[in-house]
Amino acid sequence: MHRALRKNAGFFYILPALVFVGLFVFWPLGQLVYLSLTDTSLLGGGKFIGFENYFKAFEDKSFWRALWFTLKYTVFITPILMGLGFLLALLTAPNRPLRQITRGIIFLPVVIGIGSSSLLWFWLFDQQVGLFNKALIDIGLMAEPMVWFTKADPALIAVTISITWKVIGFGMLLFVAGIQSINGEIGEAALIDGGSYWQRVWYIILPLSMRVILLTTLISVIGSMLAFDQFYIMTGGNPRGQTFTSVYWIYQNSFISFKLGYGAALSIILMLIILVFSSLQVALSNRSPAT
């Protein structure tokens, strides 16, 4: 009895976590999979229809267009968040009072809800009362106020600016942690050998921060692939549905068109796509040197 208990001690230790994950991850996921195989509407129903929702999804041009736009947004915003976040981290990593305050200020928008920040930026970009247009006119970059949300590309840029302001502090903080964990002696040795600041960044800090960079990229990519609030509030999917993200389209189907079953199928497809991306990044991360 005792031997059996001892043999399975590890299992008993992780049992609470397994129960928790089972209840709050796998059970709802199972429900979602089942829902995706039915014609459930928000107003009732729920007949089993097999893979019909999935076949429908493959023919749903709007979904694939939304997915394509989501990928475009992800590819567009991720390098900005990574590059700018890393540069800010280089600037604020040393623990000196002014740099710590700067770090705090840059991090501040992270604690604001994404809904609030999107609303704030929506009005900042407004053609008539927005300060953003006024600032661009005042510094001579524009002759007259611009309507940011009538074309897909300016709309994408507007959302990217708002999200960069909102989340850049989070990436910066992770990078700061990564930079600060690098053994200082390595940098000192490079300094003695005559390495310039940017040479130290390129040959020491960057390679030794790679795991943090990949982790931050992973978080950023997942966040971008699941983008919803910012587009819902700032563009409403416009112009003409050109800024619909995948999650926005799932929301439209589930809660505006009441098609919960179909929305569930789209969610499963999106989850699988994100899973593939994440797995690739985790595999890359495992091949990177540890700091």
Partner 1 sequence: MNVPKRWRAIAIAAISTVALIPGTSFAATLSIWARASSSNAAQHMIDLWNASHDDKIELTTIPDNQMVTKLATSVQSGDVPDLISFDLIFMPDFMRAGLLTDLTDVLGADPNQAKVAQAFKDLATYEGRLYGTGFTPDVSILLYNKDLFRKAGLDPEQPPKTIGQLEDFARKIRASDPNAYGYYFSGSCGGCNIFTQAPMMWASGATLLPSSADGPAMEGTGVKEVLTMLHNMWKDGIIPESAEADTGANFQATFETGTIGMQGSGGFAIAALKANHPEIDFGIAPLPGVNEGDASSFVGGDVIAVPKGSKNADLALQFIQWQLTDDAQLNGLAKNLILPSRSDLADNEFFKAEPRYVTTAQAVGIGKTPYAFHFNDMVNADQSPWLTMLQTAVFDGDVDGAIAGAQETLRSIAAQ
Query: Could you list the residues that contact partner 1 (CB under 8 A)?
Result: 41-44, 62, 122, 126-128, 147-150, 155, 235-241, 244, 252, 255-258
Minimum Å gap between C-beta 128 and partner 1 is 6
At 129, is the secondary structure helix, strand, or coil? coil
For 219-265, the DSSP string reads: HHHHHHHT--HHHHHHTTT-STTTT--HHHHHHIIIIIS--HHHHHH
The nearer residue to partner 1, 148 or 170, going by C-beta atoms, is 148
What sign does the dihedral 232-235-239-243 (CA atoms) show? negative
In degrees and rounded to multiples of 5, residue 243 shows phi and psi of -115, 30
Q: How far is the CB of 80 from partner 1 (least distance, A)?
A: 23
In whole angstroms, what is the distance from residue 161 CA to residue 140 CA?
Answer: 19
Minimum CB distance to partner 1 smaller for 238 or for 288: 238
What count of residues does the chain have? 291
At closest approach, how far in Å is the CB of 234 from partner 1?
9
Question: Considering the complex, what minimum distance in angstroms separates the CB of residue 123 from partner 1?
Answer: 9
Taking the least distance from each CB to partner 1, the nearer of 158 and 268 is 158
C-beta of 244: minimal distance to partner 1 in Å? 7
Distance CA 178, CA 213 (A): 8
- 288 secondary structure, DSSP code: S
Q: Judged by CB, which is closer to partner 1: 127, or 288?
A: 127
Q: Pick the closer one to partner 1 by CB: 147 or 206.
A: 147
